[in-house]
Amino acid sequence: MSTQITITNGPFRAALQAAPEQITFDTLDGSVRARILGCRDLHPAASEVIIRGEITSGVHAGRRFLGSYDPTTHEGQLTLALP
C-alpha cells in the first residue's frame, strides 16, 4: 500500500518550475523538504499541476513521489513510491 501525504501549504508555481529546486511543503504531520524532478500542468485551463520528485528530509527521505498540487491554494496530495 502506498503512503499519502496531504500538503497544507507550499510554494508558488515559479518555485516548482525551477527544478531541481529544494522546496518545503507543510503537511498535516509537519514540514517536509523535497527535490522537484518535474512539474506539468494538469490541464491548460486548470490551476493544478502534476509534480514528481523525491523527499529529502524526515522519515520518508529518499522516497520518490507523484502528486497533484494547486499553486493558487497551496494545497495538494503526494503519493509516495513503495520503499
Q: Is 69 exposed, middle or buried (0-12, 13-18, 19+ CB in 10 A)?
A: buried
User: How do strand 30-41 and strand 75-80 relate by DSSP bridges?
Assistant: unpaired
DSSP count for the chain of H helices, then E strands: 1, 6
Q: Which pLDDT does position 83 carry in this prediction?
A: 78
pLDDT of residue 16: 82
If one compares 64 and 46, the residue with the highest pLDDT of the two is 64
Interval 7-34 mean pLDDT: 89
